[in-house]
Structure 1
Amino acid sequence: MRCEETDLIEVACMKHFMLKVATLNKVYQGVAKDIVYNSQRAQCLLVEQDGQEVLIEMDSILKLTALTQNPFFKSINFKTDN
């Protein structure tokens, strides 16, 4: 993940954007809360989905779509190393 992409995710967290987050295995939809580390020390996006906090490993994110209208981004496609 590039620094610019991480910066946009930080903006989404600061402004509590509603996001749709697609990974290889699942699609999440919730409010961006923070960037944190999980117990395995992997960097994660913390979202609140249906009243529960969910950690999504940043390296697993394929696409991020802002459902909250904003001047920063509509969607971000992440490159994979596969």
Structure 2
Amino acid sequence: MNHFTIKDIENLSGIKAHTLRIWEQRYQLFIPKRKESKHRYYDNEDLKHILRISQLYHNGVKISKIAQLPASSIRSMAMEQYMG
């Protein structure tokens, strides 16, 4: 299993680390794991979920709307957008 830092997630998703932290606190869209040093890290499933959220967000879906959706709906909507 891979571990990703918040900087890795920022680079892969195009969403600034500061914004990811705010979304984490405000919307609880994802809950990163923490090392003993308290630094966040994300696994493969977290990365996939965040990339789906990023896709929806970058395609005009408001984060407040995304936050209200269950993970299965986020997955479905992202797939629909991807398939066109």
| Alignment TM class, shorter chain as reference | under 0.3
Q: Larger helix proportion, structure 1 or 2?
A: 2
Question: Structure 1 length as normaliser, TM-score?
Answer: 0.25
Per residue, is there more strand in 1 or in 2? Answer: 1
Pair member with larger Rg: 2
